Amino acid sequence: MDLSVIIVCYKGWGRLNNCLEALDTFTQKSFSMEVIVVDNNSGDGKINDLESKFSRFRFIKTTINGGYAYGCNLGAASASGNVFMILNPDTIVNEDAIGKLLRLSIAHPEYYIISFVFQPGCGFAISTGYKSYPPRLKGCREIMLNNLPGLYLKSFVCHPGTMT
């Protein structure tokens, strides 16, 4: 398995549905992928409808809302991909962009975390909160990778033992 996409949700069913619909269109011709959705104990049972609609994806239903990191860790613990992608449920991605990101990750195993936003003019808006997100990991440095058309990549390069 090349890629494990992990999505943590708490309600927000319309946004999650749109996210899963986009992922469901992937042909997986250039990479293999699994999608894991972790429901952080939404409690209303609506996750079951999405589980029926997207039966090729894996759904984990928690009995507590342990928070976002808890959900990410649950998803990662059950993932089998060589690369993990933590995806917010309000995000719509396309296969080409994810393929580029995956190839970048494989070509640069020294990168522990790669995050991205789309450039203005490509049909996607840059989140204003993104630019204020500082790397909170000791020993990390930010690298700008602008060599992939259509993608603006920010990579926080971290070395073993510095992720504290």
Model confidence at 116: pLDDT above 90: no
Model confidence pTM above 0.85: no
| The pLDDT of residue 65 is above 90 | yes
| pLDDT tens digit sequence for 132-153 | 333 433 333 344 444 444 444 4
Q: What are phi and psi of 161, to 5 degrees?
A: 85, -5
Do 85 and 124 fall into the same domain?
no
Within-domain flag for 19? yes
In a domain, 102, yes or no: no
Looking at every residue in the chain, the average pLDDT score rounds to 75
CB 158 within 8 A of CB 112: yes
Question: Is residue 103 domain-resident?
Answer: no
